[in-house]
Amino acid sequence: MATDTYTYTNKIKNLLKKPSSLFQLSTTELYYKIIENNEGELTELGAINARTGKYTGRSPKDKFIVTEPSYKDDIDLEAKDELYVFKGFAGSDKKTTLPLTVINELAWHNLFAQNMFIRPESKKEAESIDSGFTIVSAPKFKADPAVDGTNSETFIIVSFKHKIVLIGGTEYAGEMKKSIFSVMNYLLPKGNIMSMHCSANVGKKGDVALFFGLSGTGKTTLSAAADRKLIGDDEHGWNEHGIFNIEGGCYAKAINLSRKKEPQIYDAIKYGTVLENVVVDSEGNVDFDDNYYTENTRAAYPIHHIDNIVVPSKAAHPNTIIFLTADAFGVLPPISKLTKQQAMYHFLSGFTSKLAGTERGVTEPEPSFSTCFGAPFMPLNAKVYANLLGEHIDKHDVDVYLVNTGWTGGKYGVGRRINLNYTRKMVDQAITGELKNAEFTKDEMFGLNIPKDIEGVPQTILNPINAWSKPEEYKEQAQDLISRFKDNFAKFGEEAEDIAQIDVFCIAYIKLFDDSSSSYATTEVPTFSI
């Protein structure tokens, strides 16, 4: 039996009024509940470690944006002895802040929500929040695909009309943050504000850098720099005043984490942090190198766990944009400077390799094109986001670089992953402006401008063909990737079908997207009712 959204909205109000609904618990109170309910374990670092069951990554194919939905009334949270309620915000720019209510079945999910969203200053302030959107997370309620029309037992349902997100069938906590990111990606552009799947930091001179990229490309790692203040690690808006963080926390990959390689992230894992799926021994010792449960181990912590941050999480217009890709083919250069046309092209393409564990079913790197570096979270037409980016690049004279944090000297399984220290040196020179006037050479396969020399980086890796033992194998692999770019680009229109070179079909993109009649949508999300 189904019930309409008005009825379900009233159900949510009743849940909030339940005497057993635990409102705005402190970190310590949630710790007690997590341990008491056997939802997680305390580690030597002071963090809580929880396991998400069989779903250790996002489920983009199980996300549905509905127009006028009805919901199954079987999500019977009223029968639960205890629920956990948190009120907070998304968006550090007060003019566009979205008030939130999060209702959780699990205590550790509530702590996750407190870490990832912006916390009110006090419980009294929380009580006064009139929610603009409500998340209901019921992981133990599972859909029946045969009855409900879903793709699996997992569902993430977003209703913009009724301002509700329903999540069920998965304990992966990241679905909460990504659902609200999708909401903000719908709302912000309507106010002519660019919404972005990127991290951001600012230097001592006020110079701002943005890092676009999908999970596993290095957004969090590269934006957490000792000599630059962190604005945010994943989701931002760009308005007439500059950059602002959408979140209140960070969600870092924890696999192979060490203090030596990533000191800021390592030191942020302490009391109040939620670890996901890491291996912990009987004495609470954490082994970040063990991928027994998944490659996608995570750490969710409030942004104030990092000392070097901007408060509030806002800064001026960016000077530099970094597009991050983890190229499993091993053919893209570790860094290249993009023209305006190339920048627009690569933004629309959003090429990377999905790394193991970042999504359900991904066990080894596989090539992927995700429009605007976040297609599952972009509900509007792609050209809305692309046009906003292009306008901002022109208006603020932004330098744009493509950085490959993936493989060199061969494809995955043959070559090696580019050394993080080398990547840091290249990125540092890009965001400080040192690369701007460097001598460049044009790559013969992709038409990309590659710096001839960067201090502290071996010249052999700068031009990827030089890192391969057999140049002919490099060219063959590069042509394979170019073909994939062309195939992906074909969805933008027939004009791109016969174009072979990436730098050429950038021009086709500009022509195509000047056509307001284009009906291309960022993501094909089914519309349905359950």
Catalytic residues: 58, 178, 197, 215, 219-220, 234, 298
> What span, in angstroms and rounded, lies between the C-alpha atoms of 432 and 206?
11
Backbone angles phi, psi at 144, to 5 degrees: -110, 105
E-strand stretches of 316-414:
320-325, 335-338, 351-354, 366-369, 399-404, 407-408
Structure-block tokens of residue 128? 């006064």
> What span, in angstroms and rounded, lies between the C-alpha atoms of 333 and 451?
10
Residue 124, SS3?
helix
Write the burial class of residue 470 (CB in 10 Å: 0-12 exposed, 13-18 middle, 19+ buried). Answer: exposed
Structure-block tokens of residue 109? 């999910």
> What span, in angstroms and rounded, lies between the C-alpha atoms of 154 and 487?
31
**DSSP labels for 85-117?**
EEEEEE-SSGGG-EEEEEEESSHHHHHHHHHHS
> What span, in angstroms and rounded, lies between the C-alpha atoms of 46 and 240?
41
Q: Name the residue type at position 187.
A: L
Triad 24, 236, 390: Cα angle to 5°: 160
Cα–Cα nearest to 108, from 11, 174, 179: 174
Q: Name the residue type at position 452.
A: K
Triad 477, 449, 203: Cα angle to 5°: 115
> What span, in angstroms and rounded, lies between the C-alpha atoms of 322 and 228?
15
> What span, in angstroms and rounded, lies between the C-alpha atoms of 407 and 396?
32
Cα–Cα nearest to 338, from 426, 400, 405: 400
Q: Do 301 and 115 meet the contact criterion of CB atoms below 8 Å apart?
A: yes
Radius of gyration of the chain (CA): 23
